[in-house]
Amino acid sequence: MSPPARVHEWAAATNAPAGSDLAAVDWSAVDSVIVAVRTADQVSAVFGSLQDHCVKGPLTAFVVTTLAAEDARRILPSAPDSWRVFEAPVSGGPRGARDGTLTTFLSGPAPTDAEERLLADISGRVFRMRNYGEAATVKLLNNTLGTFNLLSTAHILNLAARIGIPAKEFLEVIRVSSGQSWMSDNFSEVQYDLLLKDVGLLRGEIGSLPATDLSGDVEQEILQARGLLESEA
């Protein structure tokens, strides 16, 4: 879809003004923005455009782009002192966005009442952290687990088909049984390219990821994790 068509579609769907560039915005009526792009460089470019062309005074900026923790620590504090910048990556997919039930991972200053109302409009749950980069790390860990779940579901569906169980029928079994997960419920619609991007960001941050090996010491891994949960209670 071309940019003008997307602008028209957005305006029609939201009954709100829309434009394809920052110059189309009446900035005198704006006190907060949501930055939703794909890469750290694009976040920096948006910040630069806002400063250079549109916004001279106070502004609240929610950056929902999932960044590497290092990029969040580098980019977000570089905003003008008059801005209130929140690192706010989200989880929940298109359905959560439509329903206003996204999970938001939030780092930044203590929100004002107006900022809390905006968060309540878009979020079913807000997890709050203090330092830039922590929200990114939590989101990346969550999406990496989601990717493991997605890949495990794919492995088992392929295995079922190889041994004579139709994959489509077995997916229905998974959705109502102990193998169920958000990824199995949404298996055919998941935007795995975005998940793989986040896996790459986490791998770049910590160097390596755990391998799932059912022939290894599965019991020890489970007991260790349960012990962590009990000690932090």
Domain boundaries along the sequence of the chain: 3-129, 137-231
Mean pLDDT confidence for 161-189: 96
Q: What dotted CATH number matches 137-231?
A: 1.10.1040.10
Distance between the two ends of the chain, CA-based, in angstroms? 50
Averaged confidence pLDDT in the chain: 92
* pLDDT tens per residue across span 12-34: 888 888 887 888 788 878 889 99
pLDDT of residue 6: 85
For residue 114, give the nearest of 30, 14, 32, 25 by alpha carbon.
32
Q: Decide whether 3-129 matches 137-231 in CATH topology.
A: no
Tell me the pTM: 0.85
Q: What dotted CATH number matches 3-129?
A: 3.40.50.720
Contact predicate 24/54, CB 8 Å: no
Q: Is the pLDDT assigned to residue 2 strictly greater than 70?
A: no
Residue of higher predicted confidence among 64 and 4: 64
Q: How confident is the model at residue 198 (pLDDT cuts 50, 70, 90)?
A: very high
pLDDT of residue 183: 95
Q: Is the pLDDT assigned to residue 55 strictly greater than 70?
A: no
Contacts of 65 (CB under 8 A, 6+ apart): 35, 36, 37, 38, 39, 40, 42, 43, 89
